[in-house]
A and B are shown apart, each in its own frame.
Chain A
Amino acid sequence: MTGKEYIESLRKYRPKIYFMGRRIESVADDPITAPHVNAAAMTYELAHDPRYEDVMTAVSHLTGERINRFNHIHQSTEDLVKKVRMIRVLGQKTGSCFQRCVGCDAMNAIYITSYNIDRKYGTEYHERVRQYIKYVQKNDLMPAGAMTDVKGDRSKRPSQQADKDLYVRIVEKREDGIVVRGAKAHITGAVNSHEIIVMPTRALEADDKDYAVSFAVPVDAEGVKMIFGRQTNDLRRLDGDMDCGNAKYATVGGEALVIFDDVFVPWERVFMCGEYDFAGELVEVFATFHRQNYGACKVGVADVLIGATANVAEMQGIARASHVVDKITEMIHLAETCWCCTLACSYEGFRTPSGAYMPNQLLANVTKLNITRFPYEWSRIAQDITGGIVITLPSEKDYRNPETRDLIEKYLKGVAETPTEQRMRMIRLVENLSIGAELPESMHGAGSPQAQKIMIARRSNLEMKKEMARIIAGIKEDEHFRKIRGVTEREFFSKLK
Chain B
Amino acid sequence: MRIAVKYCGGCNPSYRREEIEEVLRKYFQVSYADSADLIVCISGCKKGCAAERARGEFLHFDEKIKEEEIVRKVKEKLLLK
Contact = CB atoms under 8 A, between A and B. Distances in A.
Instruction: With a 10 A CB-CB cut-off, give which of B15, B16, B45 has the most chain A CB atoms.
Output: B45
A399 interface: no
Interface string A457-468: 001110110010
B26 interface: no
Nearest to B43: A350
B14 A459 contact: yes
Contacts of A362: 12, 14
B14 A461 contact: yes
A351 B45 CA distance: 12
A254 B12 CA distance: 39
B13 interface: yes
Interface in A452-480: 459-461, 463-464, 467
Interface in B1-48: 12-16, 45-48
Contact of A464 (B13, B47, B48): B13
Contacts of B14: 362, 459-461
Given A350-B46, A461-B12, A463-B16, 9 more contacts: A348-B45, A348-B47, A360-B45, A360-B47, A361-B46, A362-B12, A459-B14, A461-B16, A464-B13
A348 B26 CA distance: 32
Nearest to A363: B12
A429 B41 CA distance: 53
Interface in A337-385: 348-351, 360-362
Contacts of B16: 461, 463-464, 467
Contact of A350 (B12, B13, B15, B48): B48
A343 to B, nearest CB: 14
Contacts of A459: 14
Interface string A318-354: 0000000000000000000000000000001111000
B47 A349 contact: yes
A443 to B, nearest CB: 27
Interface of A: 348-351, 360-362, 459-461, 463-464, 467
27 contacts: A348-B45, A348-B47, A349-B47, A350-B45, A350-B46, A350-B47, A350-B48, A350-B62, A351-B48, A360-B45, A360-B46, A360-B47, A361-B46, A362-B12, A362-B14, A459-B14, A460-B14, A461-B12, A461-B13, A461-B14, A461-B15, A461-B16, A463-B16, A464-B13, A464-B15, A464-B16, A467-B16
Contacts of B15: 461, 464
Contacts of A360: 45-47
A360 B14 CA distance: 11
A147 B17 CA distance: 35
Contacts of A350: 45-48, 62
A348 B8 CA distance: 13
A348 B12 CA distance: 11
Contacts of B12: 362, 461
Contacts of A349: 47
A373 B14 CA distance: 26
Nearest to A458: B14
Nearest to A467: B16
Contacts of A460: 14
